[in-house]
Chains A and B, each alone.
Chain A
Amino acid sequence: MELLNIESSEHTPKVILNQANRLFEIEGEARPENAYEFFDPIISELKKYMKSVDNEFHKDIFSELPFTAHFKLMYFNSSSAKFISDILFIFKKYFDRGLKIKIYWYFHEGDEDQRDVGEDLSEMTLFPFTFVMIKE
């Protein structure tokens, strides 16, 4: 079941939160005119979902098939950066509570800044990311 399925636009990313596949994905460019209006419903839904799986039953399920979060953001502006870090802190909170969660951060080959942004966020949230290079 998809709890979130937001289509991408020229300035907003595609966002998926899939319960059955234990998957969160955000892909594209994030520079919405109003970052709060775009990200607030996503954050609310994510918090609701994470709260619903914060129990021993789901900890066992997640240990076999972890929840994966894929950040395929080719660009995000400064207002979006704040909300992206909020999303990462939600994952970190539940990771610390024992839910197996993996974060994948994508960057284009040769674009070191994009990787550095991910490294900074990983360092800030104290959450180890797996970095995935997209070859051109």
Chain B
Amino acid sequence: MNPTTRVLDKSGIFSQEDINSILKELKDKLDTLLSDPTVNRRVYSAAVECLDNVLKHSEEKISNDYSNKQKDYPSRFQLDDTGHSIVIYAGNKILNKNISSLMKQLEALNDLKPSNLNSLYKKKLLTAEISERGGAGLGLIIIAKIPGKKITYDFEKINNKFSYFSLKLEFNYTV
């Protein structure tokens, strides 16, 4: 059994420039690791949506309430190569009050079959409107749709106001 290698390990407060540089590095790594262009594109697409999610929805930049404890919870983006699959880990701080709606969305997406996820995506694309934070509400559907596996997620309570939201997505080397 091959040991898992951490290919990318980024954390902090991400700006658009940071994301551009992470994606550039990711592209180079994926070209070396993956020979299947479809899987390569899927991992890249999921990474873009995860990073976009961190940029638009992380409460890191929005909050002025920086305690030492919160500094221990930076946004993160990691990529592992398990020898047979690529695993993305993404995380960011969110407001506790947003957990239940996010959890509901994730559960609903995890319950859908791939064909139904595709129908939902097309339906949402027709009705999507751009939110104040610049999202079209399609990112999570894409994150759920492309790996062909259920999203693994977790909420870790930081304090009464914030929690840390983590996502794990796994892609086999071949489709």
To the question of whether A and B form a pair in one complex, the answer is yes
B90-142 contacts to A (CB < 8 Å): 118, 121-122, 125-126, 128, 130, 134-136, 138-139, 141-142
> How many chain A residues have a CB neighbour from B under 8 Å?
24
Within 8 Å CB of B42, what residues of A?
113
15 A–B contacts from the bound complex (CB under 8 Å): A11-B16, A11-B20, A31-B52, A33-B134, A35-B130, A35-B134, A75-B44, A77-B52, A78-B49, A78-B141, A82-B136, A109-B37, A113-B41, A114-B41, A124-B126
> Given B16, B48, B134, which contacts A75 in the complex, CB threshold below 8 Å?
B48
Do the beta carbons of B138 and A81 come within 8 Å of each other? yes
Closest to B121 in A: A120
Q: Chain B nearest CB: distance from A86 CB in Å?
A: 10
New contact pairs (14) apart from A77-B48, A79-B52, CB-CB < 8 Å: A33-B55, A33-B134, A34-B134, A75-B41, A78-B49, A78-B136, A78-B139, A79-B135, A108-B37, A112-B38, A113-B42, A120-B118, A120-B122, A124-B126
Query: Considering the chains assembled together, what is the distance between the CA atoms of A75 and B44 in angstroms?
Result: 9
A32-83 contacts to B (CB < 8 Å): 33-36, 75, 77-79, 81-82
Indicate whether B45 reaches chain A with its CB closer than 8 angstroms: yes
Closest to A89 in B: B126
Within 8 Å CB of B71, what residues of A?
none
| Contact-residue size bin, chain B (C-beta under 8 Å from the other chain) | 20 to 34
Query: Considering the chains assembled together, what is the distance between the CA atoms of A31 and B45 in angstroms?
Result: 10
Task: Tell me the number of A-to-B contacts counted with CB atoms below 8 Å.
Answer: 71
Indicate whether B69 reaches chain A with its CB closer than 8 angstroms: no
> Given B38, B49, B125, B135, which contacts A110 in the complex, CB threshold below 8 Å?
B38
Within 8 Å CB of B38, what residues of A?
110-113
Indicate whether B24 reaches chain A with its CB closer than 8 angstroms: yes
Within 8 Å CB of B125, what residues of A?
81-82, 85, 124
Within 8 Å CB of A110, what residues of B?
36-38
Do the beta carbons of B20 and A111 come within 8 Å of each other? no
Do the beta carbons of A79 and B138 come within 8 Å of each other? yes
Closest to B20 in A: A10
Within 8 Å CB of A34, what residues of B?
134
Do the beta carbons of A82 and B130 come within 8 Å of each other? yes
